[in-house]
Chains A and B, each alone.
Chain A
Amino acid sequence: MAIFNAKDRIIECKLVYYGPGRGGKTTNLEYIFKAFNKNTSAEMVSINTMGDRTLFFDFLPIGLGKIRGCEVKIQLYTVPGQTRYRSTRKMVLKGVDGVVFVADSLEVRRKANMLSLRDLADNLKDEGKSIFQIPLVLQYNKRDLAEQGIPLLPVEIIDLDLNNKLKAPYFSASALKGDGVGATLKHALLVTLRQLQKELQWTR
């Protein structure tokens, strides 16, 4: 839940990157950390062991500077994507203000995308939130693999699978190359802060 310190005019909010395992959530944060280094107030923390799988979460705090007279600080988190880490995902979602859902464009991951989105909806519901109301942006990642002849789902198909009812904004991306990462984050921040402005009645 966003913290609004009206006296010091500081807003802190939480954005969670969600999605199936190996979809590119951590890669998104790693790119953001490298690209926006001067805006990060601390190091990126990744709790993973045995290679590069996130077991607990990644955490990256970012300062956005002053927006409408308020100092805005964002905490970015990722969740572990594997099915067996459901309880960890629930914990990380506590107090979430906005979500970026990173879908895997590989054809072989079609079902995993849908199951993960369903998991997100269920966990948000347990938090008293609705996937239809929380600020949400979809990212269709790994688009670069088409160049290597790997079967990808067309964007229209992924969008139909995941976004038919949600009608959330979406971006194509290649987190490994950094394509679409910034645009996704920017829009996610926009929709999240817009919502917070309404909820917190934060004005200049």
Chain B
Amino acid sequence: MSEKESIKTLLKEAEIYRTQGLLADSKAKYVEVLSLIGKNPSFSKNQKLVDGVKSKIRAVDKSLHELKERPDKPELTQDMQSLIKKLFTFSQTKEAAAIEGAVALAKFGQYDKALHEFHLLLEEGILPLVTAKNIVRCYGALKKPEAAAEQFTKWLSRDTFSFDELKQLRSFIIAVLEKEGIEVRLPEVAARPKRAAAAKKGQETFLEISAISIHFQGGPYQSQDLDFEVQFQSANTVTVHVPSSRKEVAEFLAPGTRLDDIQCYSPITVFRSSGTVAGTATIKHGPKQGDFTLDISIDAD
């Protein structure tokens, strides 16, 4: 075979591989053509030929780059997500099937939808420890350690899990995130005071708190008391507003921070308590954009 025919054959091969989607093999053939051209002065002087082959290589490189850049598992439509749940649920019992469907969504990379389903299952009390672990796995896959930590802190302040289960969850979160190469700080699981452990959902009412005063034992306001107006309350968790001008307060009061001295003001009394920062968020829209909200779980009294 003459050199000219070899080049023609290689170009044909390269093009077939490209149309087959075998981009790396296509590029390899074009590079081989360029190398052949380079060895023969009568071909290497043919600038049109050289430019033509280089242009093909650039086009293949562009396709390879686009392939590399696209998300591994893009978000699917609701119909597709429902189909995945239907096709990949094998369990016969309703509860196991519900978990399995949500797990299938996670395995196919539909983490947001899976998280939504797992949270619903947790609220319904379906296999709570299994469900919680799957929630953690989703946050790990999404590389959202702060969300996992925030979630754990919320679980700490609720009665969903026992002391042992919380310890299990804590170790599990650390292990899952370590596997993703992420280090996370989590609050320790303290043994619950008997009065808190005995409190059952829906049976304990909590005083309405209109404002709190936190005594800072460290940080930028050490030894000072700062007052916060309660914006919202759910059971024993109050939400307070921190202006952006006091950003250092929001930064110091990270999720999991223990507050040993909180003065709580309610319409009928003032009392001293302690609590834990359950979550923080930045206000993204509206007149208070840039400010922060803090969720603080007040220990039950």
Contact = CB atoms under 8 A, between A and B. Distances in A.
B72 A94 contact: no
22 contacts: A45-B80, A50-B66, A50-B70, A52-B21, A53-B21, A53-B67, A55-B73, A55-B74, A56-B80, A56-B108, A59-B83, A91-B107, A94-B88, A106-B17, A106-B22, A108-B17, A109-B25, A148-B12, A148-B16, A149-B9, A150-B16, A151-B13
Interface in A110-144: none
B22 A108 contact: yes
B122 to A, nearest CB: 23
Interface in A10-40: 21-22
Task: Choose among A49, A84, A91 the residue with the greatest number of B CB atoms under 10 Å from its CB.
Answer: A91
A56 B84 CA distance: 10
A45 B81 CA distance: 12
A106 B87 CA distance: 33
Interface of A: 1, 21-22, 45, 47, 49-53, 55-56, 59, 75, 84-85, 87-88, 90-91, 94-95, 106, 108-109, 145, 148-151
Given A56-B80, A59-B87, A85-B72, 19 more contacts: A1-B90, A45-B83, A49-B74, A50-B67, A51-B21, A56-B73, A56-B108, A59-B83, A75-B87, A88-B73, A88-B107, A88-B108, A90-B107, A94-B90, A106-B17, A108-B22, A109-B25, A148-B12, A148-B16
A105 B13 CA distance: 14
A108 B16 contact: no
B67 to A, nearest CB: 8
Task: Choose among B16, B87, B90 the residue with the greatest number of A CB atoms under 10 Å from its CB.
Answer: B87
Contacts of A47: 76, 80
A183 to B, nearest CB: 23
Given A1-B90, A94-B90, A87 B107 contact: yes
B169 interface: no
B20 interface: yes
A22 B22 contact: yes
B25 A108 contact: yes
A85 B71 CA distance: 12
A148 B83 CA distance: 40
Interface string B13-29: 10011001110010000
A177 to B, nearest CB: 15
Contacts of A94: 88, 90
